Amino acid sequence: MTHPLRRTRALPFSRRSFLRGACLHAAGGALVALPLMDSLRAEDRAAPPPKRLVLLYNPNGTVEKDWWPEAGASESDFTLGRIHAPLARHRERLLIFRGVHSHVAQRSDNNGGPHQRGIGALFTGQMLQTGDFVDGCGSRAGWADGVSIDQAVADVIGLDTPFKSLELGIRASDNDVQGRIAYAGPGKPLPPMNDPKQVFRRLFALATEPPSAPIDPSDPLDARHSVLDTVREQFALLRPQLSQEDRSKLDAHLELVRDLERRLAAGRPDRCVPPAEPPSLEPGSELDMPRVSRAHLDLLAVAFACDLTRVASLQYSTGFNRIRYPWVDSLGEGHSLSHSGPSNTAAWEELTRRAIWHAEELAYFLDRLAAIPEGDGSVLDNTLVLWGNEVCQGNTHSLDNIPYLLVGDAGGALRSGRYLQYDDASNCDLLLSVLHALGIEAETFGHPDHCTGPLSGLLA
């Protein structure tokens, strides 16, 4: 089941959110009350930077000895393991968790095998529905039975941008419960886009189409242009009927409409420059996989800079994970490698090299966000990245100690730069903590039997 969410505090309207509401009302024949305009303009200038969330997934567990840090005398005194070494320059932004278990995935009355249950619960905190998706052990299951954390967040902070969220995939094309991490609701998986060209054209269609291109009512940006045309026409009819004072207010509001129109025509806000279209890549190719990854990361960074979206998920492969990573000299299939016995040191070394590469990709993305100025800092200062895996280690299929890592402090909402070790925490409590860090109040998230409240000591 899903749970109602609300903001913990009243946030100021932005011009975009006010105009969106005004335009929609205008299209229906009614205008928003004009006396609010001047105060909204002032609030917009004082509005804090938006917060953002990215989910990151790679499959089949981790190599525990190379994932967990070496603990020191305090939570902030730790030495990064091999896998996290590429993130050393962002150490003070890291929150690494040990002792966070997927209790809901461990339930004996849950459907499916461990990979199915693990990926279903990873970002939803929910059990699986019944269905005919088959696990490697022959177990059957359906989709996850709840909304994922990214979509719960997008329902609150994603309504003020052209795209509520972005779902991106790198060789993540399996239409199966093991191939989905994002859910709009119970049994409603969101497929990722695997082709960077598709992502580019979706994000920047307005900036690349010729001005004479016909309006596509199914496109959110074109639809807003159509609504703005209607608003202008209605303003022109209304203006002669108004007093001088009301005309001034109407003119001020119309200037905001024109400002939004200019931004839409450019396809970006003031600080944004659309990138060049990515080269043609083969999304299913192991040779192109590193370039597809970088193209997605570059496009997502620009989408954040342009405020085209504030919520995204980035999925590397699927729970089946039948792929190789030849660029890091890993020529075995990932799922088979993860089932290797403890004496197969060569297989575990391959898996560590893969995981290090994922950390390098994350570090690249963090560097990109850190280079984008925003307010008194950067876009990275207001972004959270939650990295997770469906099981702890592939050969044990353990659903204890899920390797979650959180990057960022959400504008000071979290105390980062720590290695946190819990006795028996639920991943539902971690997901609820993410909601609270992003300014979204909720009493519970995921399966209510396994959510007791935000993780202790996490929030600032």
pLDDT tens readout for residues 44-58: 455 789 999 999 999
Does any domain span residue 166?
Answer: yes
Task: Tell whether 443 and 319 lie within a shared domain.
Answer: yes
Look at residue 457 and tell me if it is in a domain: no
Question: What's the confidence (pLDDT) of residue 241?
Answer: 76
pLDDT at 450 over 90: yes
d(CA 27, CA 227): 6
Question: In what helix (H) or strand (E) does residue 100 lie, and over which residues does it extend?
Answer: strand 94-101
- Whether 30 is covered by a domain: the verdict is yes
State the helix-helix crossing angle for 196-208 and 244-266, rounded to 10 degrees.
140
**Residue 136 has what pLDDT?**
85
**pLDDT value at 113 more than 50:** yes
Distance of CA 51 to the CA centre of its chain: 11
Q: Which of 280, 298, 328 is the last residue of a domain?
A: 280
C-beta atoms surrounding 442 within 10 Å: 18
Tell me: do 174 and 255 sit in the same domain: no
* Lowest mean pLDDT segment, chosen from 123-127, 177-181, 261-265, 365-369: 261-265
Q: How confident is the model at residue 255 (pLDDT cuts 50, 70, 90)?
A: low
Residue 89 reports pLDDT greater than 70: yes
What tokens were used for 336?
Answer: 């088979």
**Which residue, among 406, 338, 313, has the nearest Cα to 114 in the 3D structure?**
338
Q: What is the pLDDT of residues 184-207, one digit of tens each?
A: 999 999 999 999 999 999 998 755
pLDDT value at position 237? 73
What is the per-residue pLDDT across 136-147, written as a single tens digit (0 to 9) for each? 889 999 999 999
pLDDT score for 37 = 37
**Other residues' Cβ atoms within 10 Å of the Cβ of residue 457:** 10
* 97 within domain boundaries: yes
Residues 356-375 pLDDT 10s? 999 999 999 999 999 999 98
Rounded Cα distance, 76 and 72, in Å = 8
- Three-class DSSP category at 123: coil
Q: What is the pLDDT of residue 8?
A: 39
Task: Count the domains in the chain.
Answer: 2
Pairing of strands 70-71, 377-378: unpaired
- For residues 43 and 61, membership in a common domain is answered with no
For residues 105 and 240, membership in a common domain is answered with no
The answer to whether residues 357 and 323 belong to one domain is yes
Q: What is the dihedral of CA 67, 68, 74, 79, to 10 degrees?
A: -50
3-state secondary structure of 285: coil
**Domain harbouring 164, CATH code:** 3.40.720.10
With residue 373 as reference, give the H or E element that holds it: strand 373-374
- Fill in the amino acid letter for 295: A
**Domain identity same for 81 and 157:** yes
Amino acid at 319: G
Q: Is residue 141 part of a domain?
A: yes
pLDDT of 230 reads 58
Tokens of 360: 């390098």
- Do 301 and 218 fall within a single domain? no
> Where does the pLDDT of residue 242 fall: very low under 50, low under 70, confident under 90, or very high at 90 and above?
confident
Q: Residue 250's pLDDT is what?
A: 66
28-46 average pLDDT score = 39
Distance CA 435, CA 257 (A): 32
Q: Which of 232, 252, 280 is at the close of a domain?
A: 280
**Residue range 399-426: mean pLDDT, rounded:** 97
Can you give 177-216 as a three-state secondary structure string? HHHCCCEEECCEECCCECCHHHHHHHHHHHHHCCCCCCCC
Mean pLDDT of the chain: 84
Residues whose CB falls within 8 Å of the CB of residue 213, separated by 6 or more in sequence, listed in order: none
Structural domain contains residue 204: no
Q: At what angle do helices 196-208 and 289-305 cross, to 10 degrees?
A: 40
The continuous run of DSSP H or E covering 166 comes out as strand 166-170
Task: Say if residues 179 and 134 touch (Cβ distance below 8 Å).
Answer: no
Q: Which of 71-80, 242-251, 264-273, 396-405 has the lowest mean pLDDT?
A: 264-273
| Amino acid identity, position 63 | V
> Residue 432 and residue 443: Cα distance in Å, rounded?
8
> Which residues, at least 6 apart from 251, have a Cβ–Cβ distance to it below 8 Å?
none
32 by Cβ neighbours in 10 Å (0-12 / 13-18 / 19+) ranks as middle
Query: Which amino acid is present at 262?
Result: R
d(CA 229, CA 264): 13
Q: What is residue 258's predicted lDDT score, i.e. its pLDDT?
A: 55
Final residue of a domain: which of 233, 264, 280?
280
312 and 374 inside one domain = yes
Same domain, yes or no, for 174 and 303? yes
Site of tokens 């022959």: 138
pLDDT for residue 264 is more than 60: no
Which has the minimum average pLDDT: 6-15, 51-60, 392-401, 435-444? 6-15
**Calpha distance 223→221 (Å, rounded):** 5
Strands 188-189 and 183-185: antiparallel
Same domain assignment for residues 268 and 295: no
- Give residue 189's identity as a one-letter amino acid code: P
Q: Are strands 183-185 and 52-57 parallel, antiparallel or unpaired?
A: unpaired
Whether residue 320 lies inside any domain: the answer is yes
Q: What percent of the chain has pLDDT over 90?
A: 72
| 309 alpha carbon, distance to own chain's centre | 9
| Alpha-helical regions (H) of 345-397 | 345-370
- To 10 degrees, the CA torsion angle through 180, 183, 188, 193? -50
pLDDT of res. 263: 43
CA–CA separation, 174 and 178 (whole Å): 7
Whole-angstrom Cα distance, residue 145 to residue 108? 16
Spatial neighbors of 228 by CB under 8 A, at least 6 apart, are: 23, 257, 260, 261, 264
Q: Confidence class of residue 213 from pLDDT cuts 50, 70 and 90?
A: very low
Task: Provide the residue range defining the domain that includes 217.
Answer: 1-47+210-280
| Assigned token pair, 19 | 């105009």
* pLDDT tens digits along 267-322: 444 456 778 899 999 999 999 999 999 999 999 999 999 999 999 999 999 999 99
Pair of tokens at residue 160:
């003020």
> Are residues 181 and 254 both part of a single domain?
no
Which pLDDT score, from 0 to 100, does residue 48 have? 87
- The reply to whether 403 falls in a domain is yes
Check whether residue 356 and residue 342 sit in a common domain.
yes
